Structure 1
Amino acid sequence: MGAALAIGCVFVALVAEGPGAGTTLNRVSTIVVGLFFALLTVRFAAVRAEPDRSGLTVVNYVRRRRLDWAEIVAVRFGSGDPWVHLDLADGSVLAVMAVQRADGEHGMNEARRLVGLIAEHGEAADPGPDHPHEG
């Protein structure tokens, strides 16, 4: 989708006709806007949470963070939260934008799965895979 946005804006910038359409500023700004939205689309597509034996890698829109299982104290997915939050041993909170409330039951299942993975690795004190902490 990002490539389609970029190509579409370049195409429009090069073939647009009419008053002001052929100016260099208009063409360049159309291409820049297309590239910006293409980059934004690529960043949205990169959001993920990747578990493995030693921990969890969380990739959000801007930042990537690697966590050992021992760093994760609890998983929260309160009714008003747009995505899962991890309470970390250092007292900070990390959003996991890959697990979203907008995904409905799938999002809840992924939150339960994350709680289960943390419980399986024996590091977190959380209620268990069937009850992600609400609130």
Structure 2
Amino acid sequence: MTQSPSDPHLAFAVFRPRRGRIVAITFAVLVLAAFTLVAIVAPGAEWKPFDRALVIAFGLAIAWFLLRFAMIRAVPTRESLVVRNLLTSRTLEWSEIVSVEFAGADPWVSLDLADTDELAVMAIQRADGPRARKEAARLAALVTALGEAGDR
């Protein structure tokens, strides 16, 4: 059963992946710890402080990327949907969204837009199983209730 868009506590909850977020945060911590450990205890006198700092910096870069993945989300309001994917963010008015697609083997939901463009919503991921289908249905209900593009 999907939540009704008239229930603001449930309908306007932020869309976030569950499994992908947990994996990304866990690996960010592990990568940073591993690279720091290697930089500190690396054998050999050939490693200068600058070399060690570069190894830690590389670990930080990987951890940053993983944390970006952990921060993906879609934030619905009565006026719009803000989609924050891995590297980009986009704000859409509900009237710009024609339909919500979550078919086949697609890894995440995609939105068909009125300008014939398509936008991935990485916040709703197939890896989350039944929860992802419920979240896709909730997003589709919001588009139906608040959008106008489907009425054209």
User: What number of residue pairs does the alignment pair up?
Assistant: 125
Q: CA separation in 2, counterparts of 1:17 and 1:4?
A: 17
Quick one: which of 41, 44, 62 aligns to 1:16?
41
TM-score (norm 1): 0.81
Quick one: which of 132, 139, 144 aligns to 1:107?
132
Output one character per residue of 1:55-113: Cα deviation in whole Å (capped at 9) or x when no partner.
10000000000000000001111121110000001110000000011110010000000
Q: How does 1:39-78 map to 2 (within 5 A)?
A: 39-78=64-103
Q: How does 1:28-47 map to 2 (within 5 A)?
A: 28-47=53-72
The one-letter amino acid of 2:35's match is C
Q: CA separation in 2, counterparts of 1:43 and 1:36?
A: 11
TM-score (norm 2): 0.72
The percentage of aligned residue pairs carrying the same residue is 42
Q: Are the equivalent residues in 1 in contact too, given 2:99–2:111 (CA < 8 A)?
A: yes
Are 2:111 and 1:86 equivalent residues in the alignment?
yes
Q: CA separation in 1, counterparts of 2:103 and 2:93?
A: 23
What is the DSSP-based 3-state SS (H/G/I as helix, E as strand, rest coil) of the residue aligned with 2:56? Answer: helix
The one-letter amino acid of 2:141's match is G
Output one character per residue of 1:17-61: Cα deviation in whole Å (capped at 9) or x when no partner.
423663346413311221111111220111001000001000000
Name structure 1 gaps, 5 residues minimum: 127-135
Are 2:145 and 1:120 equivalent residues in the alignment?
yes
Larger RCO of the pair (alpha carbons < 8 Å, separation 6+): 2
Q: Are the equivalent residues in 2 in contact too, given 1:75–1:115 (CA < 8 A)?
A: yes
RMSD: 2.2
Q: CA separation in 2, counterparts of 1:99 and 1:48?
A: 8
Q: CA separation in 2, counterparts of 1:98 and 1:20?
A: 46
Q: Are the equivalent residues in 2 in contact too, given 1:48–1:98 (CA < 8 A)?
A: yes
Q: CA separation in 2, counterparts of 1:119 and 1:17?
A: 58
Higher helix share: 2
State the partner residue of 1:129: none
